[in-house]
């Protein structure tokens, strides 16, 4: 699998795909080219049965510093009608895929970079990582990132980041306390740990984990009763998948299962 742009590095190790934001001179700020490359790679990963887990990380000292400032200036000159502006499609959830995604935050994660944290299934961080939302400091509304983060961390912590802007920079340890991230490791161990987690995820039934994630994430969109029903529907439909029989058969026969996708 090859990247459509040098701004996004692509590497595959077994069943684990590693996507690396590669604009280190711009602290991996998101421009149109990088967003387009991400969109294409998420969709390509979804269609590739060899990819069972995806890692998103950054090159250099930053994870992602947010949207490119030049892009923000261009936006200020354009239409303020939402109908004239395409919705962003550069994360796994925005594109609409369910393959398990690990966000490995290696450095500063700011502004639009928080989309990856909000939308990933598992988030780990280097001890050198930090998290900040600077939208209000440059006269911008912050909406999508905090709305997504509210599903992962406390509302109080999200509101502090929104209102205090650059004055509320969370360290990796603080992010762990708020449950923004689930694990903090030494900088030199970050990618290896992400790959290790990816390989564990890749060892289970691909379709089972994807459908489980779908049921969980879609629950945020429904009242509780409807969320239960949606999850039940996904569960029952999965009964006809070969993995549903293979998993139980392998367990009884005391052997490793052979999954299909």
* pLDDT tens profile 19-43: 999 999 999 999 999 999 999 999 9
Residue range 90-106: mean pLDDT, rounded: 97
Q: Which residue is listed with tokens 């050198």?
A: 128
Rg (CA), the chain: 19
Kindly state the tokens that stand for 94: 């925005």
Q: Which residue is listed with tokens 């795909």?
A: 17
Kindly state the tokens that stand for 194: 């992400």
Least confident of 4-13, 65-74, 87-96, 216-225: 65-74
Q: Express each pLDDT in 100-154 by its tens digit.
A: 999 999 999 999 999 999 999 999 999 999 999 999 999 999 999 999 999 999 9
């Amino acid at each position: 699998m090859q990247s459509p742009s040098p701004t996004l590095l692509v590497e595959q190790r077994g069943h684990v795909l590693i996507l690396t934001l590669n604009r280190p001179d711009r602290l991996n700020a998101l421009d149109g080219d990088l967003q387009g490359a991400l969109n294409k790679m998420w969709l390509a990963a979804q269609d590739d049965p060899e990819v069972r887990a995806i890692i998103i990380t950054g090159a250099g000292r930053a994870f992602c510093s947010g949207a490119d400032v030049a892009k923000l200036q261009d936006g200020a000159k354009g239409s303020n009608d939402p109908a004239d502006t395409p919705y962003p499609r550069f994360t796994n959830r925005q594109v609409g895929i369910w393959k398990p995604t690990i966000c490995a935050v290696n450095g500063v994660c700011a502004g639009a970079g928080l989309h990856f944290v909000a939308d990933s299934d598992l988030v780990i961080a280097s001890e050198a990582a930090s998290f900040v939302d600077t939208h209000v400091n440059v006269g911008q509304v912050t909406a999508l990132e905090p709305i997504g983060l509210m599903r992962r961390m406390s509302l109080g912590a999200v509101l502090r980041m929104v209102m205090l802007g650059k004055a509320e920079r969370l360290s990796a340890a603080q992010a762990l306390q708020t449950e923004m991230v689930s694990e903090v490791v030494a900088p030199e161990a970050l990618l290896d740990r992400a790959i290790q987690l990816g390989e564990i995820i890749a060892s289970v039934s691909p379709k089972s984990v994807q459908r489980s994630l779908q049921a969980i994430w879609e629950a945020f969109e429904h009242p509780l009763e409807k969320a239960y029903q949606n999850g039940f529907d996904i569960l029952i439909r999965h009964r006809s998948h070969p993995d549903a029989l293979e998993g139980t058969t392998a367990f009884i026969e005391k052997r490793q299962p052979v999954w299909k996708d």
